[in-house]
Amino acid sequence: MLDIFTNDAFSLVSLTNALRDVRPRPSRLNDLGLFGTDSANTTNISIERIGDILKLVSPSPRGSAGETRDMPKRNIRAVAVPHFQRDWAVYADEVQNVRAFGTENNLETVINKVLSRIDAETADFDMTTEYSRLGAIQGRVAYKDGSELDLYTLFDVSEPSEVDFDLDNGSAVDGVLRRKCTAIIRSVRQVLGGIPFVSVHAFCGDNFFDDLLQNKEVRETYKGWNQAQILRDSYVGPNRSNNPMFEFGGIVFENYGAIDATGDGALMGIGTDKCRFVPLGVEQLFQTYYAPADYVETVNTEGTRLYAKQWPMKNGKGIEGEVQMNELHLCTRPNALLRARRT
């Protein structure tokens, strides 16, 4: 039975290429196109920064010496790319009646069974990617085992203070909420040092979003003009997702409330009373890096997102295999990730 698995269709390259044809499961951060991707041929990523501060040049008398600029020092940090792996198996009994002994006429049927097994594993990898990216937009890349990569520590910057939106204040001064939004946008611009960005997007927990949506200042803004329908529908323009969303104060607020999507306690989304602000359209602000698999065939090759490999069981009763992912998610300027609380 195992002779069928010596076919090229079951090679590392073929199985890995088959995974590329599997459409990723829906995930909001993936759909938003927030993260750029890059491949590495090592298991560590080195990030180099040579300052990020622009300075004006002072005028000087003609014919005299000019001023001297203090050049920033180069700063290089190495980060290990996490390794994720799932093992699988297909037993002889599972393909017992697929083909006649000694023939490979029904090879495609066996391939489909193997790919089906691999495809079931990739769903969890997709969830893992979204979970890690959610951590990256909050400044701390989280993993299922409870460990995390603190991006503020990595880049030696301070985490911005949390802004109190005071959404439970029924007698707030008119305009104060819009002023907070303007301050958020200005703070992002300040941190980015003049680097252009397209817009600011906010991911909100359930209570934060609900109280913001029914806030008097927000509702009064939409009354009497054609955007009132957007407020009623809790949705805005071409960026529509499965999450409710609307625009106010120059920021798109999207409800991405935390849920236990996997049943293992790992919450996907933003805490119920919290909100996270993310600048969109900044080149290389959010990056995903792929490292090569730990196979002889992949040493020093450019990494790809997923790898799949199989080999015969020692007792001849089937095939064992694995799917693996070597993937790192970063925000290269975590101090641009502002945050707020409901009250």
Task: Quote the CA–CA distance of 39 and 186 in Å, as a whole number.
Answer: 34
Asked whether residue 133 is domain-assigned, the answer is: no
19 part of a folded domain:
no
Note the pLDDT tens digit of each residue in 113-130: 777 888 888 888 888 999
- 186 is a domain residue: yes
Decide if 228 is inside a domain.
yes
Would you say residue 72 lies in a domain? no
The CATH number for 210's domain is 3.30.1930
What's the full length of the chain, in residues? 343
In a domain, 245, yes or no: yes
Q: Please tell me the total count of domains within the chain.
A: 1
- Digit-coded pLDDT (tens) for 205-222: 999 999 999 999 998 887
pLDDT at 107 over 70: no
- Please check whether residue 323 is in contact with residue 34, taking contact to mean a CB–CB distance below 8 angstroms: no
CA atoms within 13 A on the CB side of 11: 8
Inside any domain, residue 219: yes
pTM value? 0.81
Q: Measured between alpha carbons, how far is 66 from 64 in angstroms, rounded to an integer?
A: 6
Tell me which of 27-41, 54-68, 321-335 is least confident.
Answer: 54-68
262 inside domain: yes
pLDDT in tens, 183-242: 999 999 999 987 899 999 999 999 999 999 999 999 888 776 665 665 555 555 555 557
Instruction: Print the domain residue range for 252.
Output: 159-285+333-341
Cα 80 to Cα 43, 224, 280: the distances in Å are 6, 54, 26
Model pLDDT for residues 300-328, shown as the tens digit of each residue:
999 999 998 888 888 878 888 899 999 99
pLDDT tens-place string over residues 123-180 = 888 889 999 999 999 999 988 888 999 999 998 899 999 999 999 888 888 899 999 9
Is the pLDDT at 280 greater than 70? The verdict is yes
Q: Tell me the two tokens of residue 166.
A: 């005071």
- Inter-residue contact 275 to 165 (CB < 8 Å): yes
